């Protein structure tokens, strides 16, 4: 019978955990939704704080599609749809500042992530 010390087992487990953590950190999962009915493309990454290079038409996107945009969650996506339904199509990205939850910092970020068409 081979004796294995507790320290060797602990080191092996630690190495495996670090390897998995490194893999998950470096692995960038992209989810792309393409809705051909309104030409909307949304890409989300694991890190919702960074722009992905994909843009979305704020006037045609559904709440679920808006939720996939980094910086917009389910509450804000619903607020955008409600605002759009009450006031009509959004005419400029700056108009998004009228929606509760979109301040100057988020507005600057969204200027890179959305388009008005």
Q: How are beta strands 31-35 and 40-44 bridged, if at all?
A: antiparallel
The two three-digit tokens of residue 47, written as one number: 């890190």
Per-residue model confidence as pLDDT tens digits over 64-92: 888 888 778 899 999 999 999 999 999 99
Structural domains in the chain, sorted by start: 33-115 (1.10.150.280)
Residues whose CB is less than 8 angstroms from the CB of residue 93 and which lie 6 or more positions away in sequence, other chains included: 58, 107, 110, 111, 114, 116
Are 35 and 68 a contacting pair, CB within 8 Å? no
pTM above 0.85, yes or no: no
- The continuous run of DSSP H or E covering 35 comes out as strand 31-35
Q: Beta-carbon neighbour count of residue 66 at 10 Å? A: 23
């Amino acid at each position: 019978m081979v004796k294995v010390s507790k320290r060797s087992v602990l080191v092996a487990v630690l190495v495996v955990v670090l390897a998995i953590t490194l893999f998950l950190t470096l692995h960038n999962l992209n989810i792309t939704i393409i809705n051909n009915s309104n030409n909307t493309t949304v890409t989300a990454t694991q890190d919702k704080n960074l722009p992905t290079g994909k843009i979305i038409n704020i006037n045609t996107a559904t709440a679920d599609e808006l939720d996939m945009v980094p910086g917009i969650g389910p509450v804000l996506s619903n607020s955008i749809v409600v605002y759009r339904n009450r006031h009509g199509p959004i005419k400029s990205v700056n108009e998004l500042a009228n929606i509760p939850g979109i301040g100057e910092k988020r507005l600057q970020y969204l200027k890179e992530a959305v388009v008005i068409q």
